[in-house]
Structure 1
């Protein structure tokens, strides 16, 4: 740019000099000499040349400043966008969102659709035959928060009504976990195992008959190495609040692994104090939930408190598993009445017919089955067969609620980690049944078949 301006100035000066060069003695029209005019022009040209030189100097300074800014901009590092987004999304049956600082959020839910039939003696007038229901339709959320805190809220929408299942806030520090809110108290291996992971469409009869359910309370769990200790104080279920009932529950589990075999040995205790004037009732359906008939039933019993004691044992080795539980429930009816102790227990065994599959286990409960070759990835999923003997005795201390001896079989097809189809059959033998047959006969048998389609996320 500087060379161009200098050439322009020189050309202008030469043009003026050449165009106006005339004999020194020439005269203009008004009598002035050419020499005088040339002198004036030369003065103007000198002034112009001086101004051009000044402009060239200013331009040079400007060029220097621009060059300096350009070099500074070139040397300044350009910010690079972070490769890690502020929210990480993974997939575990449903999207799980993970943010900075320990925040996570995941929707959760399950659908259990049941159908089947119950066949009882016609003379019992039982409402048997075909039945179906949406056993569970649950929706909720779960996640974690900074500082070791976690949360879970879930509601069941089945049956055209909303029932709160879990609603908890947790705190975890190493082997210690604290929980507050509505959650399971600590009774029975099968009761604490999710309904998504059981071997039959319904748990052993005593878990339902003795009223195991979620309650509002606070609890602590301590799990060093192969030991699990659980204890808590609870009041009633959220649907029954406010209530003056309270319970204390505890459970101990020893869960060593011997080679590839997972062992489980446990015991639990339950003490529940009831509000004055309360009653309890123990009864049970014939395996399937969609029937309203209970063939064993104590009726309402006045009670001040109840005490339960349970024992648990299980083993998982490759495709094979076995588990057994017993539970005693004693009712304190006050000083004027006898105090009955009712009993329930079950034993089951199962085997996977598909190679590489095994029953899941985690933290003192049965866990999800994850097929080695799921449907959609070139496999057929996991196929499992199970057999169970289930016993419930509601006769004691003058209370005749009946006894149930049930022989059950199930076939489970787990297509993927989150989908299952279960087919169950049960032959239930009753004595002292609550529903009499012809001639007052209370000893007879009932057949039940149940099918469940299950999906969860």
Structure 2
């Protein structure tokens, strides 16, 4: 036996003896792999649990691990203080304070495609116990987003009318809406604001189209008294279609040009009182109306409006014109109109976000902090607003308002507004002229 044969024999014996050891080593490696896989699974479970933990921005948001179910709280508080200087006229406006809004609500998502919202306003509950309607339902709807770029909404929600109504109440440039928006889209007197109905909205990058059919607000029904007795006389509620179309031929990060049209047609249902248009000095602390058509007996009426708005860096402008036509039961048909033009400059350089045919409030680049020496966002604004409610034998009056404002946004969820308003109204032989200063502190979550 030569050396090579000896080495081969020894190697064979060694490999035979080492085989169990190699087998044991492979088994150990497999065990370690199994342990690692178990650890990874445990980490995945922990991540899923972390995702379920509520996120605060600034209210808690609860989301499952897949993200197809979600739940969050929403709301806002807006407190106003107003001071009036009545120069001429019989209306003596009262200075004071008001909890303008105290809204609480929830948003939810069900299997990604379905959404819901319920929001109530309890601002009236801050008044004395003699006040009625202390809880006011705003949004109460279900949405389906199963079609690309399309949202179908069923329930109580805003009618698609005017740029101002498209804004959230947290995003408006001034404390209150312009005169004609208050007169022609107020839910208690006219065709707009929150109403029960069904609508569909298609949104692309540069344009939106919304249409729907709406009844009355949930708080309004066909009941009433007849001849001063307690016997209710139930009548059909009002209803009608509403639509809005917007186009943004320029839609950049800080450059936007917005064009829009909207309208509605309303049947008054069984109410013989018909419709009423009115407005005050764009301050809600005192609800006295300076111009008012009174009740107009009509079976139907309509509204049409045009919108022009945009921004260039920190400069922003918005304007609208609207007209309503009333087909009276007795007498000639009548028409009323109004409009406004406003502009602002964000001193600190921010621009508004634009999405789905509406602009959002300013989000400061740096929140207010004495420690860091940052001051949030500051904005100055001006607006002219007009409304004419005179036609034929209806002398509802004419009003012109001039406003300037200063807005401070300490952070994305808090804003403070101060407006100066000069109002000038003539109704028949009566004339009301004066000034008002109104401030608002508002927090949004």
Q: TM-score, normalised by structure 1?
A: 0.79
Q: Which whole-Å CA distance do the structure 2 matches of 1:426 and 1:370 have between them?
A: 25
* Aligned with residue 213 of structure 1, among 169, 193, 214: 193
Structure 2 stretches of 5 or more lacking a match? 1-23, 126-133, 187-191, 223-235
8 Å contact from structure 2 (residues 206, 251) kept in 1: no
CA distance in 1, matches of 2:57, 2:314: 24
Partner of 1:206: helix, strand, or coil? Answer: helix
Offset of 1:444 from its aligned partner? Answer: 4.1
1:73 & 1:372 partners in 2: Cα distance?
A: 54
Matches within 5 A, 1:294-443: 294-334=289-329, 336-354=330-348, 356-376=349-369, 378-432=373-427, 441-443=429-431
Kindly provide the CA deviation profile for residues 295-328 of structure 1, in whole angstroms up to 9, marking residues without a partner as x.
1111111111110000001011110011110000
CA distance in 2, matches of 1:226, 1:258: 7
Alignment check: 8 A CA contact 2:109 2:116 kept: yes
Query: TM-score, structure 2 length as denominator?
Result: 0.81
Cα distance in 1, alignment partners of residues 308 and 356 from structure 2: 14
Please say if residues 278 and 304 of structure 1, whose CA atoms lie closer than 8 Å, have aligned partners that are also in contact.
Answer: no
Q: Work out whether residues 152 and 168 of structure 1, in 8 Å CA contact, stay in contact via their aligned partners in 2.
A: yes
Q: Deviations over 1:161-202 (max 9, x none)?
A: 111000111111321110001000111001110111111000
**How big is the alpha-carbon RMSD for the aligned residues of Structure 1 and Structure 2?**
2.1
Are 1:168 and 2:133 matched, yes or no? no
1:107-126 aligned within 5 A: 107-121=73-87, 124=90, 126=91
Distance 1:249 1:298 in 2: 23
Alpha-carbon distance in structure 1 between the residues aligned to 2:283 and 2:161: 21
Unaligned runs of 5+ in 1: 1-66, 434-440
Query: Could you tell me whether the CA contact under 8 Å between 2:196 and 2:216 is conserved in 1?
Result: yes
Distance 2:31 2:263 in 1: 74
2:265 is equivalent to residue 271 of structure 1: yes
Q: 1:77 to 1:241 in 2, by over 3 A?
A: farther
2:282 alignment partner, SS class: coil
Q: Are the counterparts in 1 of residues 95 and 285 from structure 2 also a CA contact under 8 Å?
A: no
Pick aligned residue for 2:156 from 179, 182, 186: 182
Larger Rg: 1
Residue in 1 that maps onto 2:288: 293
Q: Distance in 2 between matches of 1:423 and 1:223?
A: 34
Query: How many pairs does the alignment contain?
Result: 380
Aligned to 1:197, which of 171, 175, 180?
A: 171
CA deviation vs aligned residue, 1:143-163 (integer Å, no higher than 9, x gap): 211041111110000011111
The match for 1:19 is none
